[in-house]
Amino acid sequence: DRHGHLCAGTSTGGRGFERVGRVSDSATPTGNYATSLAAVSCTGVGEDILDEGLAVRIVVRVTDGLSLHEAFDRSFAEARARNRDFGAIGLDATGAIAWGKSCPVLFAAFHDGTTLGDTLDLPL
């Protein structure tokens, strides 16, 4: 926001046939996580996102000194090596936007203060 606060959020539609009582990644820090340095929101197969601790992993890497893009690159290289099925979009305190996917397509929208677009417009 205009005060520099970051947040992350995702609604879940589910993929269907989830077990009764299942808690999705959207309700946990692995699916959505934000600090004053970075915010990440994930989508995809919830169990894969949980196994990777994806949103937290990316934000912690930014906290440890990687750029947002470096944190995404490293996290998604690891995810692809483990055949995960998900994607994520993130924002850091400088306004940088990054996204990654280990699946064929990721749909997400963004507005950087000037440009309104979607992840189909951005190079990976």
Every domain of the chain and the residues it spans:
25-121
Residue 99 token pair: 């996204």
Helix/strand/coil for 55: helix
Strand pairing category for 86-92 and 32-34: unpaired
Does this model's pTM top 0.85? My answer is: no
Selected residue with higher pLDDT from 6 and 24? 6
Q: What pLDDT shows up at residue 59?
A: 98
CATH placement of domain 25-121: 3.60.20.30
Residue ranges in 64-105 assigned as alpha helix (H): 68-81
> Coil, strand or helix: which one is 36?
coil
Amino acid 14: pLDDT: 58
pLDDT score for 65: 98
CB half-sphere exposure, 58, CA atoms < 13 A: 37
Instruction: Identify the DSSP state of 45.
Output: -
